[in-house]
Structure 1
């Protein structure tokens, strides 16, 4: 059930959040670090289509990613006793983040390479690939499986605290309202708001790691040791821009995180209720 509901959540997250995700990646890797200026230049250089560069890959892959996340989270939470508590959110969320790195690293590598393409070189690079599949073929042909997993260590460092923070915040918000109201039923608007808080908390704990991952994946060259270049890229970013360099694009990320995760968690909860209802009423499903 969680796997299917996670797919629905992934579709909602992709459609609502991809434009701001594109702006985030361009702010992380280009020369423009102002949210509204980057939006303006993207619109002028690439039109509305520019906000959805690279969306083909996430549209089929992000639902799978979210299915993995919610499925792994439910599995870990079940092992911990299905308490849906703040502490379980941290532990089960950490496990979900670790499992997710297997799937998310190659997906984000292709997505980021597509998103940095632009007709304006201040916010991106020259357009090289027509679509995500062409980008995938080129990376696989020239670098193999290893090329698809560039930035994987950075993904691990990002995903574990990200989903620990996300699910802990979501469970904490829901538990707080249940305590305040004295009942288990939660209004839909609160699920949306809880998702927004969860999304913001997710990125607060993981954004610096995300910048390092993005710059590694789009081809910024540094020496790569056992950590895939994580330390050296972090050092380079600090030398170039100081601590603020680890937060370029966070404004776009915050808008995207709040909107997309609000929609995603709301979609997940509604899908779970519909699936449970169907499960209870369909005798074939019920008996199996």
Structure 2
């Protein structure tokens, strides 16, 4: 439980600090700005500081579930790969980490799709993350959430 809480808290802190920069990066890529300064000016002109945090709520609330999913799959995989109580090998730690990372994608990819859609929206397109998810699903079905690509890869 301590790992889950500290992972959730650490993830939230990272999101709060990094999200404005991620928003600038996404908007610069999506709208083809030539510099980060032009992207920043446009964000400030559009909705002020609020623009930098658009799309933050969904990843902020889901980070605990994503970390929990990762560590749960990682622990299970490591237990299957190295069933003894001894020190696990680096190879098995690496493999369990890869399996845990793949397992978390089921939740992380749709969350990221919604985050990016909210970051590039004008603020009037979606009423929030759940409205965004609903509209994506209505327009594109399950394929729009990115899950089809994960299932196909695995």
CA RMSD of aligned residues (A): 2.9
**Pair 1:32-2:33 in alignment:** yes
Of 82, 93, 97 in structure 2, the residue corresponding to residue 93 of structure 1 is 97
Name the CA distance, whole Å, in 1 between partners of 2:78 and 2:17.
Answer: 28
Give the Å deviation of 1:84: 7.3
Query: Unaligned 5+ residue runs, structure 1?
Result: 119-125, 157-225, 228-288
1:89-119 alpha-carbon deviations (Å, 9 max, x no partner): 532221111101111121111111111124x
Segments ≥4 residues shifted beyond 4 Å: 78-89
Residues 34, 74 of structure 1: CA spacing in aligned structure 2 closer, same or farther, 3 A cutoff?
A: farther
Name the CA distance, whole Å, in 1 between partners of 2:72 and 2:4.
Answer: 5
- Structure number with greater CO (CA < 8 Å, separation at least 6) is 1
User: Which range moved further: 12-21 or 104-113?
Assistant: 12-21
Of 109, 112, 116 in structure 1, the residue corresponding to residue 116 of structure 2 is 112
> Does the Cα contact within 8 Å between 1:9 and 1:63 map onto a contact in 2?
no
Query: Unaligned 5+ residue runs, structure 2?
Result: none
Name the CA distance, whole Å, in 2 between partners of 1:140 and 1:73.
Answer: 30
Q: Where does residue 65 of structure 2 map in the other structure?
A: 64
Residues 12, 25 of structure 1: CA spacing in aligned structure 2 closer, same or farther, 3 A cutoff?
A: same
Q: Where does residue 107 of structure 2 map in the other structure?
A: 103
> Does the Cα contact within 8 Å between 1:6 and 1:68 map onto a contact in 2?
no
Normalised by the length of structure 1, the TM-score is 0.44
Q: Where does residue 21 of structure 1 map in the other structure?
A: 22
Give the Å deviation of 1:20: 1.5
Name the CA distance, whole Å, in 1 between partners of 2:11 and 2:116.
Answer: 18
Normalised by the length of structure 2, the TM-score is 0.76
Residues 128, 71 of structure 1: CA spacing in aligned structure 2 closer, same or farther, 3 A cutoff?
A: same
User: Which range moved further: 128-137 or 69-78?
Assistant: 69-78
Counterpart mapping for 1:1-288 below 5 A = 1=1, 2-81=3-82, 83=87, 87-118=91-122, 127-149=124-146, 152-153=148-149
